[in-house]
Amino acid sequence: MTMKSLFSWLTCFCFIFETGILCDRKLEKRQTIFSCPGVTEYGCGSGECIDVSNTCNGIRDCSDGSDETSLLCETVLCPAQYTFRCKYGACISNKNICDGIEQCADGSDEEKCPNSTLISTFTSSIPKKPDTAKPKPITAPSHIKIPAIEGTKYFYKDRNQNFSLSHATEIEQYRIIEEDCEAGYYKVVPYRFMVCSESGQWRPFVTEELCLKMCPPMKSDSLDFECTFEDKYISCLTPVPGTILYQTCKVTHKLPSGQEQVPHQLLCLENATWSDALYTCIPTCGLLYTPSEVLNDGKVEYGTVPWSVGLYRQIKSRDGFYELICGGTLIALNKVITAAQCYWEEGYTNKILMNEKHKYKIAVGKYTSDLSIKDNNFTQIIDVGFVYLKESYYGPSGYYADDLAIIVLQTHVTISDVVMPACIDWFKQYSVPNGSIGKVFGWGKSEDLETSSVLLEANVSYTDKNTCRDMYSNGFQSLVTIDKFCVVSQLEQSITEGFIGSGLTFEHGAIQFLTGIASVMDPYTNDLVAVFTDVSHHIQWIRERLL
């Protein structure tokens, strides 16, 4: 946003006092060449952005001091009964004069004081004008209490730090108090403050409320939202009255049988309530394909785990042939989550991997590991577009911390009963206690330790990272990093390297939620203990890459 648009609403930077109005109408003309995106920001000559209210206040907030110069501050008017005007034009509180601390950038508040030996070293161009703003002698101070107004909070600044004030706190004379809004409220004007005057009253006297209540923020595991206000898109987490909300079921959800999804708008009313209720959408994610049965040897029939994905890489020596490298989990129509180690190589610094020469493919609806075999009518083979690697993943040297990657597909998968995403607990509503039993699927080794050509299932019990670390004293505990937890296989089902990248799910309310990604196996326990990357630890990173 340009400085011109900044001043379209901020016509002047006004401090309204008992004696009149202080406005700086020439601030736009004296703005530095650099402009800032924020509507209440001032562009320093050094390229920094600061709040416009921090200019000409005696404190150099810009590293080059361009917010405290005579060029910027010469036309600022300071109300004499509350403030002191520094030589170069800035305004500070009367109470800071001759207190032994320089509050003006040029030190002029400490000149002409009894026993003062201060020599100003301020070098900016300062107009030579008489110092007419003399502080009034302060007599016995009067006090006034912070008002109790719903949704409004108060603070004061002292040497560039904010100090919060609770309601009914007594404030001494001349103290400048700034106002802000509590969570769930919005400001009707961008900036407001008040001063305890000599008469023991707040000035300026304003009856209008600063903070008005917002409608409840909208977030949902089953719905996608878009919000507009005055024909502009805004966040649905901060809906002010007049906001229009548009809702649709997520791609992983649908309306109950027989209902047709039609555009349905909600309006945030003046009383901070929504005009109607939200859709009720039911999951099309995290549903195991119940007709299939798991065989006694741990093998599964196709469709048992609809979110299971095979990751493939082209074999250099055999053009057109692909080998299985890892497992993955479908989490959106064109997104798959897996382990970063499946794509990462030592010395690789680029954290976005492009799929050059169709080197990588994925397959959903697969039962056998051979990509050339189309197992059923639901099998889909899709080219990888590119891969996001977790920026802080450094492989074995980083103890496999942040072992996470998200694959973006070139085309969307077709959803069915046997191909659908796993659910993600976006708002961390569910916890997994130690001992809880979950499921992980992959092309690992069967009970006879032979590499399996078909999809296997392993039932595992959850163990939190601290308990897991306490199980070891041989150094393996160093691989249980802050973003990890462990699982222990049940029924001696091995969790081998063929499971790396595969997703572990736990059931909550008959729905399977993705909880971890297979990362490291303990070879000294016959692959019965494995370390998984905790999805909840990386929820924000995942969310940002699904947008």
Tell me the pLDDT tens digit for each residue of 391-409. Answer: 999 999 999 999 999 999 9
Residue 132 falls inside a structural domain:
no
Task: Find out whether 417 and 306 touch, Cβ atoms under 8 Å.
Answer: yes
Identify whether residues 277 and 317 lie together within a single domain.
no
Residue 318 falls inside a structural domain:
yes
Residue 456 falls inside a structural domain:
yes
User: Among residues of the chain, what percentage have pLDDT more than 90?
Assistant: 35
Residue 158 falls inside a structural domain:
yes
Q: Is 489 helix (H, G, I), strand (E, B) or coil?
A: strand
Residue 184 falls inside a structural domain:
yes
Tally of domains in the chain: 5
Which residues on adjacent β-strands are paired with residue 517?
503, 533
Angle at 318 between CA 315 and CA 319, to 5 degrees: 90
Residue 294 has pLDDT above 70, yes or no: no
Average pLDDT over residues 144-157: 85
Residue 17 has pLDDT above 80, yes or no: no
Total count of residues recorded for the chain: 547
How deeply is 419 buried, as exposed, middle or buried, from its count of CB atoms within 10 A (0-12, 13-18, 19+)?
A: buried
| Per-residue pLDDT at 290 | 66
Handedness of CA 360, 361, 367, 369 (dihedral sign): negative
Average pLDDT over residues 193-197: 79
Residue 77 is encoded by which pair of tokens? 């008017």
Average pLDDT over residues 235-263: 82
Identify whether residues 443 and 533 lie together within a single domain.
yes
As a whole number of angstroms, the distance between CA 271 and CA 417 comes to 44
Provide the CA 311 distance to its chain's centre, in angstroms. Answer: 30
User: Which residues, at least 6 apart from 106, have a Cβ–Cβ distance to it below 8 Å?
Assistant: 86, 87, 88, 120, 122, 124, 126
Residue 72 has pLDDT above 90, yes or no: no
User: Among residues of the chain, what percentage have pLDDT more than 70?
Assistant: 81
Residues 197, 201, 202, 203: what is their CA dihedral angle, to the nearest 10 degrees? -60
Identify whether residues 209 and 268 lie together within a single domain.
no
Strand ranges (DSSP E) for 146-288? 152-158, 161-165, 170-172, 176-181, 185-187, 193-196, 202-203, 211-213, 223-229, 232-234, 244-249, 253-254, 265-267, 282-283
| Per-residue pLDDT at 361 | 97
Q: Is 524 helix (H, G, I), strand (E, B) or coil?
A: helix
Cis peptide bond prior to 204, omega within 30° of 0: yes
Residue 22 or residue 465, greater confidence: 465
Average pLDDT over residues 308-317: 91
Residue 293 or residue 49, greater confidence: 49
Residue 37 falls inside a structural domain:
yes
Identify whether residues 267 and 196 lie together within a single domain.
no
- Condensed to tens digits (0 to 9), the pLDDT of residues 73-87 reads 887 767 655 678 898
| Closest by CA position to 6, among listed 190, 173, 177 | 190
Greatest mean pLDDT among 178-187, 293-302, 323-332: 323-332
CATH number, position 209: 2.10.70.10
Average pLDDT over residues 136-165: 74
**Tokens 């078909």 — which residue?**
454
Round to the nearest angstrom and report the end-to-end CA distance of the chain: 24
Identify whether residues 532 and 452 lie together within a single domain.
yes
Residue 299 has pLDDT above 60, yes or no: no
Handedness of CA 318, 456, 423, 366 (dihedral sign): positive
Identify whether residues 238 and 175 lie together within a single domain.
no
Identify whether residues 167 and 195 lie together within a single domain.
yes
Task: Find out whether 175 and 195 touch, Cβ atoms under 8 Å.
Answer: yes
The type of residue at 90 is A
Identify whether residues 447 and 480 lie together within a single domain.
yes
Residue 443 falls inside a structural domain:
yes
Residue 429 has pLDDT above 80, yes or no: yes
Which residues on adjacent β-strands are paired with residue 484?
533
Identify whether residues 38 and 105 lie together within a single domain.
yes
Identify whether residues 402 and 448 lie together within a single domain.
no
Residue 41 or residue 100, greater confidence: 100
Domain that holds residue 324: 308-409
Residue 483 falls inside a structural domain:
yes
Identify whether residues 484 and 526 lie together within a single domain.
yes
Last residue of a domain, one of 392, 409, 426: 409
CATH number, position 397: 2.40.10.10
Q: Is 231 helix (H, G, I), strand (E, B) or coil?
A: coil
Identify whether residues 487 and 450 lie together within a single domain.
yes
Residue 240 is encoded by which pair of tokens? 């002010």
Last residue of a domain, one of 195, 213, 231: 213
Mean pLDDT, the chain, integer: 81
Model pTM above 0.75: no
Asked which of 356-370, 438-452, 473-487 is least confident by mean pLDDT, the reply is: 438-452
Average pLDDT over residues 375-389: 93
- Condensed to tens digits (0 to 9), the pLDDT of residues 482-498 reads 999 999 998 777 788 88
Q: Which alpha helices (H) appear in 61-171, and where do they start and end?
A: 70-73
